[in-house]
Amino acid sequence: MTAARMPEPDDRKSARIAEAHLAPQAGSRVIGRFALSREVLRSPKVRQAGAHAEATDLSNPDEVSFFFLDGEAHRKRRAAVAGLFAPRTIVTRHHAVMQRTMDELVARLREGKPLPLDDLSFQMAVDVTAEIVGLTNSDSNRALARRVKAVLDSSLVRRPGWLGTLIFNARMLLRVGRFYRKDLAPAIAARRRQPREDVISFMIGENYSRKGMIMECLSYGGAGMMTTREFIVMAAWHLFTSAPLRERFLAGDEAGQSAILEEILRLEPVASMLHRRAAEGEPGLMAQGEVLCLSIREANVDEAITGPCPFRLDPDRAKRMKVAGPYMSFGDGPHRCPGAQVALHESRIFLDRMLRLPGIRLVAEPTILWNDFIQGYELRGALVACDPA
Amino acid sequence: MVRITFIDAGGTRREIAAREGLSLMENAVAQGIEAIAAVCGGNCYCGTCRVHLTPEWFERLGPPGDYEGPVIDASGDAHPCARLACQLPVTEALEGLVVETPASQS
């Protein structure tokens, strides 16, 4: 008689919906091994693909977001703003924004009514990104968050056919125009008078066009605001539903808390795949012109790099395996997420302050949805509440 | 294998046998040199794998590259011979290299 095999522990909350919806670009070759994914992403022979990269007109780089650039032009632009994302800048400058936002969110929570967790996490993500980009001259930070959300969320809903395109374009024009008038234009005017250390000041110095500035701000917005909103909710969900994990988080120092968040992110990467086109062939790796789909979800559970039980949430794993904690969740190579450390810091501060509130509880669990555009999960409907002050 | 010595801010020395073909950062992380944080995994973005060379080794290995320099500047590390370990490939030319690590990589 054969002994029954114990099912492998699986702590992932987003695995099922990802398996049901993941859609690599047609004709692409999926790569799931961590080492191979890293080799592709670090190769100077690949170019951005997927997420409309191939439809982007690169003839005028000054009107193209850094997200779609490659090679020298991309590295130059990234290097110019490297200081905004440096660990020292995060601690000496961005922490103050994070704490100020948390003061405001805590005050709202202490009124005692249940509040949507994704609204709270979005406000944190908007405030921090706005500081880095330089969107700090709006009428209010909550109004800025609403306008950014209107643009970014509407960019994901596009019905097929000419009527759908017409409606989409008209709606986007209105919403982008509102964002420009109320948020970007005042920020540009203020920085023309007095430059600061932020992305908008850099763009003014480089004579970006209006279109170029809008594209860049929205790229930072999409990357810095939407993904962090989802991750904070996901991490909170794990921490609310596992008392030992929550206790360890609250008892941990900064490194210990970060290790927990990175391990959650390994299991629940917000973006699930990246695409690259091989501009040149590389024997044994890729053929010229081939489109490669790098599966972040698969790479993050590759036992060659995770060790045994890859689906189990184990905050000690990365240190034991001597690997950078988030594994492939922020990508790799020249396009690795510039705001990775910022996102981890704001998530840690948000969760630490929220989970220490008296009587804090998850009133309603989130519904997990799928976003086809970023090929990632969205968590909606989670409500949190604490004891009133 | 290439012999490389790390000296931490407290003066503790540790010699490692580094593998050629990997970066100095990858060797340090693989052998548990805790003063090398390398939070970006070796992409020359985070500046948390800084090492301080002697002037002689700095001259031999050269100054930081075009993208490495701004990252070191952003870290606030004013050491004149600072380099990122992720940008230093280990070859036999590094035999006997001695590096110091800063008190904090933040």
The answer to whether the Cβ–Cβ distance between A79 and B39 falls below 8 Å is: no
| Most confident by average pLDDT, A142-151, A167-176, B92-101 | B92-101
Nearest CA in chain A to B71: A82
pLDDT at A51: 65
DSSP H or E stretch at residue A361: strand A361-364
Considering the domain boundaries, does residue A3 fall inside one? no
Does the beta carbon of A253 lie under 8 angstroms from any beta carbon of chain B?
no
CB of A88 within 8 Å of a chain B CB? The answer is yes
Assess whether pLDDT exceeds 80 at residue A344. Answer: yes
As for how many domains chain A has, the answer is 1
Region A261-274: what's the mean pLDDT? 95
Q: How confident is the model at residue A52 (pLDDT cuts 50, 70, 90)?
A: low
Least trusted range by pLDDT, from A132-136, A170-174, A302-306: A170-174
**Which chain A positions have a beta carbon within 8 Å of B39's beta carbon?**
87, 324-325, 340-341
Mean pLDDT of A61-68: 71
Residues of B with CB under 8 A from a CB of A: 29-30, 32, 38-41, 43, 45-48, 66-67, 70-71, 73-76, 105-106
Give a yes or no: residue A9 inside a domain. Answer: no
What pLDDT digit, counting tens, does each position of A346-389 carry?
999 999 999 999 999 999 999 999 988 788 999 999 999 999 98
**What is the band of A256 on the pLDDT scale with cuts at 50, 70, 90?**
very high
pTM: 0.90
Residue of B nearest to A87 (CA): B106
pLDDT, mean of residues A36-42: 95
A318, A259 Cβ separation under 8 angstroms: yes
**Cβ partners under 8 Å of residue A109, min gap 6:** A115, A120, A354, A357, A360, A384, A385, A386
Nearest CB partner across the interface for B43, out of A89, A325, A333: A333
| Mean pLDDT, residues A74-100 | 89
A114 has a pLDDT exceeding 90: yes
Contact A86 B74 (CB under 8 A): yes
pLDDT at residue A2 greater than cutoff 60:
no
Interface test with A, best of B27, B29, B46 (most A CBs within 10 A): B46
Nearest Cα residue to A132 out of A195, A64, A200: A200
CB contact under 8 A, B46 and A88: no
Report the pLDDT value the prediction gives residue A324, as an integer from 0 to 100: 74
Interface contact A87-B46, CB threshold 8 A: yes
Which chain B residues have a beta carbon less than 8 Å from that of A341? 39-40, 46
Residue A2 falls inside a structural domain: no
Tell me whether residue A178 is in a domain. yes
Mean pLDDT for B93-105 is 95
Sign of CA dihedral A201, A203, A209, A214: negative
Q: Where does B1-106 have alpha helices with state H?
A: 24-30, 55-61, 68-75
Location of structure tokens 């801010």? B9
Residues B45-69 have a mean pLDDT of 94
Q: Does A322 touch chain B (CB under 8 A)?
A: yes
Tell whether the model's pLDDT for residue A155 goes beyond 60. Answer: no
Q: What is the pLDDT of residue A160?
A: 72
Query: Would you say residue A19 has pLDDT above 80?
Result: yes
Query: Residue B17 forms beta bridges with which residues?
Result: B3
Within 8 A of A42 by CB-CB distance, chain B residues are: 43
What is the mean pLDDT of the segment spanning A240-245?
Answer: 98
Tens of pLDDT, residue by residue over A281-326, are 999 999 999 999 999 999 999 999 999 999 999 999 998 988 876 7
Q: How confident is the model at residue A153 (pLDDT cuts 50, 70, 90)?
A: confident
| Residue A113 maps to a domain | yes
The residues with which A361 forms a beta bridge, in sequence order, are: A385
Q: What is the pLDDT of residue B79?
A: 95
H or E element that contains A371: strand A367-371
Catalogue all structural domains in chain B, each as residue range(s) with its CATH number.
2-100 (3.10.20.30)
Sign, CA torsion A88/A122/A153/A293 = positive
Identify which of B43, B70, B106 has the shortest CB distance to residue A91.
B106
Asked whether residue B14 carries a pLDDT value surpassing 60, the answer given is yes
Question: Diameter of chain B by CA atoms?
Answer: 33
Average pLDDT over residues A146-160: 75
Query: Which of the residue ranges A45-54, A275-284, A306-315 would you say has the lowest mean pLDDT?
Result: A45-54
In this predicted structure, the answer to whether residue A7 has a pLDDT above a threshold of 90 is: no
Residue A82, pLDDT above cutoff 70: yes
Report how far apart, in Å, the C-alpha atoms of A319 and of each of A133, A259, A303, B8, B37 are. Answer: 33, 9, 15, 19, 11
Distances (CA, A) of B71 to A22, A27, A87, A285, B42: 36, 38, 10, 30, 12
pLDDT in tens, A187-227: 999 999 999 999 999 999 988 889 889 988 988 888 889 89
Q: pLDDT tier at A158 (50, 70, 90 boundaries)?
A: low
In a domain, A7, yes or no: no
With tokens 């941990």, the residue in question is A252
Task: List chain B residues with CB under 8 Å of A332.
Answer: 41, 43
pLDDT at B8 over 70: yes
The verdict on ipTM greater than 0.90 is no
Query: A147: part of which helix (H) or strand (E)?
Result: helix A141-154
Quick one: pLDDT at residue A164?
A: 78
pLDDT of residue A157: 62
What's the pLDDT at A307?
95
Q: Which domain holds residue A41?
A: 15-385
What CATH number is associated with residue A125? 1.10.630.10
| Nearest of A183, A182, A148, A151 to residue A168 by alpha carbon | A151
Span B32-37, average pLDDT? 92
Which of A18-27, A213-222, B23-32 is the least confident region? Answer: A213-222
Within a domain: A121 = yes
pLDDT confidence of residue A4: 65
In one-letter notation, the amino acid at residue A227 is T
